[in-house]
Amino acid sequence: MNYTLHQLQVFLKITQTKSITKAAEELHLTQPAVSIQLKNLQEQFEIPLTEIIGRKLHVTDFGKELAVAAEKILNEVHAINFKTLAHKGLLSGRLKLSVVSTGKYVMPYFLSGFLKQHAGVELVMDVTNKSKVLECLENNETDFALVSILPEHLKVSNVELMQNKLYLVGRELEGDGSRHHGIELFEKLPLIYREPGSGTRLTMERFISSNKISVGKKIELTSNEAVKQALLAGIGYSIMPLIGIKNELNQKDLKIIPVDGLPLITSWNLIWLHNKSFSPVAEAYLNYIQQEKSSIIQKHFDWVDKYKD
């Protein structure tokens, strides 16, 4: 046997994604490069690791067993690397975060300085919707989660990072003249919603329900980027977090439409399970956030203040 750690890493990613294309995307490799690594690994075993049925890749039982072993081996390699750095007096280990999809516009700025200070820290960040973020947190699969709505069913501790303002956004209304509108405007517009489980959708639905708004045409899309592209195409309007549309507002491709009761204001919170036992890396990161959050906000998010309530 002469397989390499790189081959095991590629194979493990293939088993996780069930796709050579998706594995290549997540590993930042070309599709042919991933196929070659799989072929080279397969040549060392007489039993098939994968099979193609109806153009779909399936992992064999033997392949699944090898994937479990590969993950253990790779985890041990990571542990050796971390211990080497620790003996040098450097902070090392994995920092695991689960972030709601719109949080991708926020979280990197609260990470970059910490990662630059500690080269031995490996970041693992999953970006998904609110329901999956909370599921990951509840299963103790992550150190911290970033959410804009605090969970009611979990006992968590939190650090509030910054405000999250949501406005009605879209292409300019005909004959609008930048005038202020009453909430009855919502009944005249095609509204675009995020998918169920999204924190943005929950905030939007609470506003519409509390104001007894009768929604006409309703469109549902499964990501913040998909909603934004639909708005740019003039398909409809949506209540969106300001943080995700900075460039579109600056370029005047989208416009905030003033409406009674808006903006809706929530807060970005870094949360963790109450009484969680932190790793040295997680504890160091929490200390960093508590000390540096004000300067991070001032440096990267001062533009938010020009959009007054």
Selected from 3.40.630.10, 3.40.190.10, 3.40.1390.10, 3.30.300.30, the CATH number assigned to the domain covering 164-266 reads: 3.40.190.10
- Residue pair 91/281 in contact (Cβ under 8 Å)? The answer is yes
Q: Check if 93-162+267-306 and 164-266 are the same fold.
A: yes
The full set of domain ranges for the chain reads: 5-87, 93-162+267-306, 164-266
Measure the CA angle with vertex 281, ends 11 and 161; round to 5°. 105
pLDDT tens digits for range 124-177 = 999 888 888 999 999 999 999 999 999 999 999 999 999 999 999 999 887 665
| Sequence-ordered list of residues with C-beta below 8 angstroms from that of 107, at least 6 positions apart, any chain | 97, 99, 125, 146
Structure tokens at 223: 């990501």
CATH class (in words) of the domain with range 5-87: mainly alpha
Band of residue 178 on the pLDDT scale cut at 50, 70, 90? low
CATH topology of domain 93-162+267-306: D-Maltodextrin-Binding Protein; domain 2 (3.40.190)
Average pLDDT, the chain: 89
Alpha helix (H) ranges present in 121-238?
Answer: 130-138, 199-210, 224-232
pLDDT tens-digit profile of 243-255? 999 999 999 999 9
What is the DSSP secondary-structure string of 216-244?
Answer: -SEEE-SSHHHHHHHHHTTS-BEEEEGGG
Q: Which residue has the tokens 């046997």?
A: 1
C-alpha to C-alpha distance for 30 and 28, rounded to whole angstroms: 7
